[in-house]
Structure 1
Amino acid sequence: MTSPCRLGHDHLLLAVRLTPNGGRDAFDGVEVGADGLAHLKARVTTVPEKGKANKALVALLSKTLRIPKTAITVVSGETARQKILRIEGDPEDLKSRIEAVASA
């Protein structure tokens, strides 16, 4: 499986495709786009206005990975469905947690 993660020395970059107004807050596995890049599919119940969907995504990821919200920042795609998140922490540990979520 292609991974949506890129490892740094003290962080991980995670590619996400977010669906706002998704009916529930959940992760729906990993999808490979036409460009060959993988991303974690996520959905949140909130609307995509004034950053509410991004905040809901950060909260969902924080709760799922059991890390503080402050460890997660949106580095690109603030207003787009495709986003890159920077997650501070041990990259190998974070990658294994994300892969467990993606395959659940």
Structure 2
Amino acid sequence: MNMNNDYNHIYELCKSHMHSYVLAEMVDGTKVDGIVTGLDNEYVYIAVPIGNGEPTHNHHHHDMNRQFGYGFGYGYPGYGYPGYGGPPRRFNRLVLPLVALTALSVLPWY
């Protein structure tokens, strides 16, 4: 297979698995699992789940609320969500170049 056929194959795989939970394998052997959320001529966009031990981007808002005694949302302790009333982040966005992908396979979501 030449480079153009490989690219077309990966592009079509990503297109057919849009909004699916997948395992993406890179040229360097790295593997990433997540949900395909977007695709263009150069990149595939994947929502990667955040693990329990990984920090989220809005953790400093929660710390600030605790420091000033605001509690969890709307100024009442124990109500709402941490931060400014929004739910905690559960996914990070990952942008992968299509030319770096070697394989894409669908995973069960449960």
Same fold per TM (> 0.5)?
Answer: no
Give the structure with the larger helix fraction. Answer: 1
Structure 2-normalised TM-score?
A: 0.29
Structure 1-normalised TM-score?
A: 0.30
Question: Rg bigger for which structure?
Answer: 2
